[in-house]
Structure 1
Amino acid sequence: MNKNQLIAALSDRTGATLKDTQAFVDAFVGCVENTVATGDKVVLPGFGTFEARDVAAREGVDPSTGQRRLFPATRRASFKVGATFKEKVKGEQPVPSSGKQS
């Protein structure tokens, strides 16, 4: 599912217009990006946690040259899946049918 398909599905489920749904999705993504970029977490219980993580410097192989090199320390965005989401993916929880949900 791409962004446009997500917006269409959310619009169908909520009854909101495509324009309003797109504005909401864009605002949500922007809030998550800005919050994580400042070092805070975004926690959505059952769904998951968005956060920035520090990655230590490490030695590795540059895939384009095959040469060993030192990769510097950096920060990366990370998403940790929540328990309810994991259960649905594993098939331990029923997936609701499409249509409006509350």
Structure 2
Amino acid sequence: MFQKTLVQEISIRTNLSDTEIEPILNAFSAIIKTAILNREPVELPGLGTFHVHHLASLKELDPETGKLVMFPPKDTLEFTPAG
């Protein structure tokens, strides 16, 4: 769902105007982004939890060349749906 569609849906359900909703949605997004960058989990009740997962470096064989390829460690964003 795109932001414009989300704003319209929220507008319909809350009777707030699009111009009232957009700054709220932008602030919400900024808060989540800041928390994720700080490696803090973000729990949205009834929806789920976003959290940063660290993947260690990995060595694998390239099937085409047969050479060992090294993948550096990295962080990924994971989402666990509410149960």
Matching residue of 1:42: 42
What residue ranges of structure 1 are gaps of 5+ in the alignment? 84-102
- Which has a greater percent of strand? 2
The alignment partner of 2:39 has SS state of coil
Matching residue of 2:2: 2
The alignment partner of 2:40 has SS state of coil
Q: Which amino acid aligns with 1:80?
A: T
What residue ranges of structure 2 are gaps of 5+ in the alignment? none
Q: Which amino acid aligns with 2:78?
A: S
1:23 corresponds to 2:23? yes
- Alpha carbons of 1:7 and 1:58: their partners in 2 closer, same or farther (altered >3 Å)? same
Q: Superposition pairs for residues 1-102 of structure 1, below 5 Å? A: 1-60=1-60, 69-83=69-83
The Cα of 1:60 is off from its aligned counterpart by 4.3
Q: Which amino acid aligns with 1:31?
A: I
The Cα of 1:46 is off from its aligned counterpart by 2.2
1:77-102 Cα deviation digits (max 9, x unpaired): 2211111xxxxxxxxxxxxxxxxxxx
Task: Flag the structure with more relative contact order, 1 or 2, with Cα contacts below 8 A and sequence separation at least 6.
Answer: 1
Number of residues of Structure 1 aligned to a counterpart in Structure 2: 80
Alignment TM-score, normalising by the size of structure 1:
0.69
